[in-house]
Amino acid sequence: MLMFTFRRFLQLIPVFFGATLLVYFLVFATPGDPIAALSGGKPMAPAVEAALRAQYNLDQPFWVQYGLYLKNLVTLNLGQTFSGQDVSAVIARAYPVTARLAIMALTFEAVFGILFGVIAGLRKGKFFDSTVLVASLVVIAVPTFVLGFVLQLVVGVKLGWARPTVSGSAPWNELILPALVLGLVSLAYVIRLTRTSVGENMNADYVRTATAKGLSRRRVVVVHILRNSLIPVVTFLGADLGSLMGGAIVTEGIFNVPGIGNLLYKAIQKGESATVVAVVGILVIVFVVANLVVDLLYAWLDPRIRYV
């Protein structure tokens, strides 16, 4: 198990370089000239333009640019944004906020998703099951920007139960509403995955045995059915942590959360490769680590699964 974990961390190295290379290339390949955009459509003195281009190595061919980026990376210098700030400082500000938001959203979808999923799975075709299905459809079909906007208007403005936007320090309590909105679509997945899995395992031999042994229904559900139903759910949740962090663009925009979703979106639009590469580089690490945790959980959930 230890060897397995160690090997997985070793894999991080090629993955990190592969991802940064690919992302750097994608930003390089996006059409448009970042320096021209800096001037906001107004004229710019040609000498200033040339100097700025040189400052960000934009006058170099791709391999040179990427090489220079890697060279800086070795000294832990993540480069600078077009506004002259250190990318490391920008990232250090934004990542904790988004991480908090994503973890809250993940907790929300895990707790309610599994709870609703188990109930729906045990009472397939009953009223609760159908209600959950209809609610899931709403969440899937109505895009986040609408759901977020409506919730913000109702809860934040009309009812006044919460601040409609998140203040600068992004405290936990203000992130509840954004986390809810962020986790809604994934909630639909978790509910249906749990429901299906529970429904499948209800008929398994060990459940029959457990019931026959005279175990209480609660014990059968929690210990036997649930534990054996969790593998697809855990797989999904593990992958979702990273998606929630990188995909919070809309939610962060609606609630004015100063996180990486917004940062990434703006950086992509500006063609600011240093920022994009740094954000995605860290996201890749999150994905690999989350995947490792999920794999370790497999073995715990199902002892038949062994890693060497």
For other proteins, the binding residues in 96-115 under the rule CB under 8 A are none
Among positions 32-91, residues that touch other proteins (CB under 8 A) are 32-34, 36-48, 50-52, 55, 82-85, 89-90
Which of 157, 172, 223, 300 lies at the binding interface for other proteins (CB under 8 A)? Answer: 157
Contact 270, 62 (CB under 8 A): no
* Positions 224 through 243 that interact with other proteins (CB under 8 A): 231-232, 234-236, 238-239, 242-243
Bridge partners of 80, per DSSP, are: 86
Q: How many of the chain's residues bind other proteins (CB under 8 A)? A: 122
Minimum separation from the CB atom of position 3 to other proteins (A): 13
- Let me know if 154 is exposed, middle or buried by CB neighbors in 10 A (0-12, 13-18, 19+): exposed
69 versus 189: smaller Cβ distance to other proteins: 189
Stretch that binds other proteins, among 57-65, 69-77, 106-114, 282-290 (CB under 8 A): 282-290
Structure-block tokens of residue 79: 């480069």
Find the shortest distance in angstroms from Cβ 81 to other proteins. 9
As measured in angstroms, the least distance from the Cβ of 115 to other proteins is: 17
Phi/psi-derived region of residue 302, left when phi > 0, alpha when psi is between -120 and 50, beta in every other case: beta
148 neighbors 227 (Cβ within 8 angstroms):
no
3-state secondary structure at position 169: coil
Burial degree of 13 (CB within 10 A; 0-12, 13-18, 19+): exposed
- When asked if residue 135 is in the footprint of other proteins (CB under 8 A), the reply is no
Q: How far is the CB of 205 from other proteins (least distance, A)?
A: 7
For the chain, what is the largest distance between any 2 Cα atoms, rounded to a whole number of angstroms? Answer: 84
Stretch that binds other proteins, among 67-75, 99-107, 108-116, 264-272 (CB under 8 A): 264-272
Answer for the pair 288, 8: CB distance below 8 angstroms, yes or no. Answer: yes
Residues of span 163-192 touching other proteins by CB under 8 A: 163-165, 168-169, 185, 188-189, 192
